[in-house]
């Protein structure tokens, strides 16, 4: 950050009201303004000519291991992270649909994508998004694949006509997440019997 007298803001952050508030750690010259006050989009605006782009080596993309984020918060509402990630993927899904009808099967994919697709799809062509990616077979039409958590690039799938990449944490739960009610009981109950305690978390309303 820059000098303290340039770091004024309102509630919980800086807003650049006193001019540039970012300085070079090496030479101390002003380089830009950071805005992260409440009710404002977080952003950094660099001064013209103060920085230059230098490409760096990209991290390897062979590791797609990431922990999934549950779709429902402990409070019983849809996760805000899911709302943002699925909203982004939904826009991409509609773009590749070409205005045609998109069908989704029952399950969590249908729960989060289905309501919006039922309202917005109107064309005669019916396409289906299918989960694909690490640990799953190739898809033949629209592949829902993870977006790499570091590079942001979608997982390459040679068998899909179109690719739609949700955030990796959301994709992981869509592909491999399990509600407690669907977990197989072992030890005290017969094999094949499903546990119903604790109950899976269900949101209080539609996605």
Q: Kindly write down the DSSP assignment for every residue of 158-170, as one continuous string.
A: TT-SEEE--BHHH
pLDDT at 120: 59
Residues across the chain: 207
Higher pLDDT among residues 164 and 99, named by residue: 164
Split at pLDDT 50, 70, 90, the class of 14 is: confident
CA distance 164 to 89: 6
pLDDT at 173: 92
Higher pLDDT among residues 182 and 97, named by residue: 97
What is the radius of gyration, based on Cα positions, of the chain?
Answer: 22
CA distance 103 to 191: 34
DSSP 182: G
CA distance 13 to 38: 7
Q: Which of 172, 196, 170, 201 is nearest to 183 (CA)?
A: 196
Higher pLDDT among residues 199 and 63, named by residue: 63
Q: Percent of the chain scored above 90 by pLDDT? A: 15
């Amino acid at each position: 950050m820059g000098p303290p007298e340039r770091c004024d803001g309102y509630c919980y952050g800086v807003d650049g009201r006193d001019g540039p508030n970012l300085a070079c750690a090496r030479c101390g010259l002003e380089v830009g303004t950071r805005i992260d006050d409440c009710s404002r989009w977080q952003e950094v605006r660099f001064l013209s000519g103060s920085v230059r782009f230098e490409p760096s080596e990209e991290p390897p993309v062979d590791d797609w291991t990431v922990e999934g984020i549950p779709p429902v918060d402990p409070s019983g509402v849809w996760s805000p992270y899911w709302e943002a990630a699925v909203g982004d993927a939904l826009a991409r899904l509609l773009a590749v649909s070409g205005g045609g009808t998109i069908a989704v099967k029952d399950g969590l994919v249908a729960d989060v994508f289905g309501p919006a697709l039922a309202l917005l799809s109107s064309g005669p062509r019916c396409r289906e998004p299918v989960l694909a990616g690490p640990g799953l077979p190739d898809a033949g039409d629209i592949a829902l694949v993870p977006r790499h958590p570091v590079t942001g690039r979608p997982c390459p799938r040679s068998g899909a006509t179109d690719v739609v990449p949700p955030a990796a944490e959301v994709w992981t739960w869509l592909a491999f997440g399990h509600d407690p009610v669907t977990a197989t009981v072992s030890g005290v109950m017969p094999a094949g019997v499903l546990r119903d305690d604790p109950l899976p978390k269900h949101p209080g309303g539609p996605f």
